[in-house]
Amino acid sequence: MKKILTLMLATTSLAFAQNSVSPITQPVPQGSVPKTTSPAPVPGYTLAPPPPAYAPMKVGNFTFDVQERMRYEMRDNNFDFNSAVNGVQDAAWLLQRFRLGVGYDVNPWIKLYVQGQDVREIGGDRGHTIGVNGAEGDDLFDILKAYVQIGNLKKGFSSTLGRQFLAFGDQRLIGPLEWANQARTFDAFKFRYTGSKWSADLFTASPVNFNTYKWNKSDLLDQTDHRNAFISGLYFSTLFVPFNTTTDFYALHYRDDGQANFGPPIGSTSFVNLGTLWKGDPKKLNGFDYDLELDFQTGKVGGRSLTAYAGHLGSGYNWLKSPWKPRFGLQFNYASGDGSPNDKKVGTFQNLFPTNHLFYGYMDTTAWMNMYNPQVNFSFMPTAKMKVMLDYHLFWNANNADSWYRSNGTTKVRPVNTAALNASSFRGQELDFTVSYKVTPHVNILSGYSYFIAGDYLKQTGAGSNAQFGYLQMQIDF
């Protein structure tokens, strides 16, 4: 049945050009704003990935878009840090993603959009179930986006109802996670109003769960799901600070029916996240930039009382007059951990639905949870089409009584036991080398190599081998 409906979707789907193709094609160097030839974004989108620099195909009131992405990956010791064991994650595979969208503008105030997606993992021994053994897995042609937009941003407001991507600020808490083969999407309602120097987004959303052989459903629509997760919020962006590209304030609320991340649930989850994000404009600061994000959480997780904190501070210098556009930056990331696994309190910062691949190392070993992460960033553009990035990371646990969480926020690198409590908190170092090349406005090539040097925490809690990650990706968009 799904295959028949897949064919129907491919031939009858509706989409519109403004949101037809996902714009993230490559990692964004920390602290910098992606270069684009598009017009300057409105407030609130200054930090979001830019729209594509090409025009999707348009026929009358219809628009069509197609994306094909292939990424070949090789990983060694990324998951167990143990060279003595050849696990299923220590291998190579090809990740393939195909998207087809068709849109229709009913009139200037009503736009319809549906986009289908097919993802496959080819080769390797991880299996084809998404999330099992770290696999990207298979998801046969399914609905990635399907919504109606009512309103007109040129007139100041719009509302979007249906399956859609959500991205706010730097995506440290909410983003589409486009690095993952299947990405992340929500069944959501979002209302947006834009003034001359400020914008506001009000939204409520339920995350969609990807299923290999069934239609993907959100917690809202899946009657068999027992998580019932919802996230709602108000995101306010301003241009009132004259030397900032944006100054944002936001309040988020997350709830579910209870989770077992911190022991058997003794109640439901419901907490509030209050935060702010500031981004300095290097053109107004004589080449210097800075970005600051601070967050505080309070409420309950699995029935346990939550009080948690997180922060990011980065600064850099841009050689604006150099044709190679070099930038050198320093940054520090922190997220609180839990001090005792046996009480009825949680001190671990909850990372929500982030795009962590952009921030804490491209090997995806780390979430914005229970961590210290200072880093050095350097980038330059030897040609207008090529960008080279070099990032160096150091990692520590904020508290050894808590776990080291991978980028998905749930998988743990090592169990919390006597060895972990008495070990050094130093996890290790990571070096990321990345090259992006824009062959044409429609074709982008991305390649990278990462090397992780195991620290004393790994060596004192089990195997402590170094790890490697290499990849080559091509993405074609029309």
Are 270 and 255 in contact by the 8 Å Cβ rule? The answer is yes
| Residue 81, both tokens | 């840090």
| DSSP class of 55 | P
- Tally helices (H) and strands (E) across the chain: 3, 21
How many angstroms separate the Cα of 382 from the Cα of each of 115, 176, 271, 324, 327? 36, 30, 46, 5, 12
Burial class (CB in 10 A: 0-12, 13-18, 19+), 213: exposed
pTM of the model: 0.88
CA distance 378 to 247: 25
Of the CA atoms within 13 Å of residue 192, those in its CB half-sphere come to 25
- Give the 3-state secondary structure of residue 461: helix
* Residue-level pLDDT, tens digit, the chain, 478 residues: 343 333 333 333 333 333 333 333 344 444 443 333 333 444 444 334 455 556 678 899 999 999 999 999 999 999 999 999 988 889 999 999 999 999 999 998 999 999 999 999 999 888 888 888 888 888 889 999 999 999 976 778 899 999 999 999 999 999 999 999 999 999 999 999 988 888 999 999 999 999 887 889 998 888 777 789 999 999 999 999 999 999 999 999 999 998 878 888 899 999 999 999 999 999 999 999 999 999 999 999 999 999 999 999 999 999 999 999 999 999 999 999 999 888 889 999 999 999 999 999 999 999 999 999 999 999 999 999 999 999 999 999 999 999 999 999 989 999 999 999 999 999 999 999 999 999 999 999 999 999 999 999 999 999 999 999 999 999 999 9
Domain of 470 in residue numbering reads as: 2-477
Our count of domains for the chain comes to: 1
How many angstroms separate the Cα of 454 from the Cα of each of 109, 258, 385, 425? 55, 34, 35, 12
Residue owning tokens 């809202």: 220
- Beta strand pairing call for 304-318 and 345-346: parallel
Classify 42 in phi/psi space as left (phi over 0), alpha (psi -120 to 50) or beta.
beta
CA distance 395 to 333: 10
At 247, which CATH number? 2.40.160.100
